Amino acid sequence: ETGVTQTPRHLVMGMTNKKSLKCEQHLGHNAMYWYKQSAKKPLELMFVYNFKEQTENNSVPSRFSPECPNSSHLFLHLHTLQPEDSALYLCASSQVGGSETQYFGPGTRLLVL
């Protein structure tokens, strides 16, 4: 266990559904990240939060909406997704700074029908 948990582990949703992914870290970190991992592509950084403030939005479509109520919890709200959004969504946490080790959760495998 890395100290980063994600729920649900698997999710199937239709294009008109609304769902949320949850991430929680128990490491005392103050930075949290959402990544998208698709087959045969590098990990794509989606959002970065430092001390609960969003500091990075990597040109992510508005159908993905992050929320960080505190330094330990991170959500990704999903609505009107497309089939090409099917992927593994990974959450990570670290101390603030690009040279700090990031610890990943197990991911949520999302399938959009």
Residues forming contacts to another protein in the complex (CB under 8 A) are 2, 4, 6, 31, 40-43, 45, 48, 50, 55-56, 90, 92, 96-107
User: For residue 45, what are the contacts with CB-CB under 8 A and spacing of at least 6?
Assistant: 33, 34, 35, 56, 58
Which C-beta is closer to another protein: that of 41 or that of 69?
A: 41
Cβ at position 64, least distance to another protein in Å: 18
Which C-beta is closer to another protein: that of 2 or that of 65?
A: 2
Cβ at position 82, least distance to another protein in Å: 23
Which C-beta is closer to another protein: that of 17 or that of 37?
A: 37
